[in-house]
Homo-oligomer: A and B are copies of this chain.
C-alpha cells in the first residue's frame, strides 16, 4: 500500500506559484527529488535527465495525462491523493507490461494562484509510489495553465523478450483478473451522488477510486515466470479491456458472469441504492487491476504460486476462444449474450 500522507508540509500555506515563481518552485522540489538510484546518472536541473539502461533489458515507455474537471475534481481528491494516483496509473501501465518502473518525468500545467504547499503535497503523493516501486522522478516541465493538468511519462525495464503484450493470447488460454472490479466506478458514483445510502461501505469504494493500487507484484511475477501470454490493465473498464485483448490477439472470449470478482462493499452499496453491480464491474473503469491470459499448461502453477508471491488474489473469469465465436458473456442463468465494450471514451457523443 502507498504510504499515508504526511501531516504537514515545509512551505507556508500562503506561498503561491505566482509569489515564488517557476524557478523558485523548481529549486524547492529539486532537493527533495535527489536520487540514490544508481541507474540515474543525472536528475533534475538540466535540459534532460540521463539514465543507464540495465544490460539484457528492454525499456517500456508510457504516458498518462489527467485533466481537472475530466479525470479528477480537486474538491473531492486531495493534492497528495492526486499525485499518488497519477503515479499509480503509470506504474500500472508498466505492471501490465511486466516491467519495473525506473524513471519518470512530470509535466504540470498549474494556475498561478495554486498553493505551493499543495504542489509539494502533490509531489509527496507521487513520491510515495515512486519510492515503493523504484520510479524516480528525474525531470519535468512546470507551466502556467488556467486549468490544472498533469502528465507523467514513465520508463520501465523488463528482461528482454519477457514483456507482456496485449497480442499474445491464444484460444484455450484461461482469462484471469486480479482483485475485484467495479469498486472504483462505484466510488466515483458515490462522490457524484453524496445523498446515496451506505456511507460506510461507500468509503472503501471511494478509497479505491481516489487511491488505486498498481498491481506491480503481479505484473512482475507474470513476466519473470513467463506464466502469462498477454496482459492489460483495466483503466477503461473490464468489458472494454477484454475487447482490446481479443482484438490485438485475434481471438474471442467467453466470460462467466458469476466468476467476475465483486467486493462485498460493492454488493452492499449497490443493494442499498438499487444499482446493478455488474454495470460497475463490466463498464466502470479505473480499477487498475490486471487482466491476463494463462495457457493451460501453466494454470496450476500460476494459481498455486501467484497469491503467495504477490499478495494479490487472482481469479479466472473465463477463457479465450477462436475469433469466430465472438466475445460472449455467459449469464448466471446460462444465457450466452454478446459482451459489449462500453468503456469510457473521452470524446463519446454522450460525454
Point out residues on A near B: beta carbons under 8 Å.
17-23, 25, 41-42, 45-53, 58-67, 69-71, 92-94, 96-97, 99, 103, 105-110, 112, 138-147, 149, 151, 153, 155-156, 158, 160, 163, 165-167, 231-233, 248, 345-349, 351
Contacts and interface: CB of A to CB of B under 8 A. Distances in A.
B144 A147 contact: no
A49 B107 CA distance: 20
Copies in the complex: 2
Nearest to A151: B151
Contacts of A351: 112, 144
Contacts of A112: 346-347, 351
Given A46-B97, A144-B347, 13 more contacts: A18-B347, A47-B93, A47-B96, A47-B166, A50-B97, A50-B158, A50-B163, A61-B153, A64-B107, A64-B141, A65-B149, A109-B149, A112-B351
Q: Which 7 A-B pairs have the closest CB atoms?
A: A153-B153, A48-B62, A47-B96, A65-B107, A144-B346, A48-B60, A53-B53
B65 A233 contact: no
Contact of A347 (B21, B46, B93, B99): B21
Contacts of A103: 61
A58 B64 contact: no
Given A42-B163, A151-B107, A346 B142 contact: yes
Nearest to A156: B48
